[in-house]
Structure 1
Amino acid sequence: MTLTDQKIKLLDGTFTPSEASDILNTIVDKKINFHKLQRLSIIEQNCDDETPHLYSRMDELIKAKEAIKEMILEARKEGVELKIESDIQITFIQN
């Protein structure tokens, strides 16, 4: 099997504020929950590990969620739609 980096188009479209809210909040919520589960797993293995990197990342995501909320409210107020584009870059890394 050849290891080939990939770039995948995740989102590319124009959405109503409600659609954009659903899409973006679902993605951010999934990432927050992923980090919560990671943190729980690490703490179960080592109760002394405070996982500061996971708390930091969750804080970033919570702030992003607030920024998204503000943008959605502004879009609704102005009666506009939102164009959302997102690519995922996947790279193979040798350990």
Structure 2
Amino acid sequence: MTKLFFPSVALAIALVFPAFAIAQDNGTPTRADVKAEFIQFKQAGFDPAANDQLDYPESLQRAQQKLATQSQTESAAYGASTSGTSKSGD
């Protein structure tokens, strides 16, 4: 019985570990995530397509700071979101 026990345990372990590796989420962003982040940076004032690359690091840092400030403000706000539109009376 012990002749079959250890090989079967080793086989079971070898089959289980790849399943754990596949189940992990590595958090890679999707194409939609990257596009949304790019739009946020453009709205914050960073335009990588601009020809004036002289202030590249500073303009990126300013946009990051602006987005971080907006994120902190939104997380500390009370009540319902005010960043939407509504229509009534139709």
* Alignment TM class, shorter chain as reference: 0.3 to 0.5
Instruction: Report which structure shows greater RCO (CA 8 Å, sep ≥6).
Output: 1
Bigger share in helix? 2
- Normalised by the length of structure 2, the TM-score is 0.33
Structure ranking higher in strand proportion:
1
Q: Give the structure-1-normalised TM-score.
A: 0.32
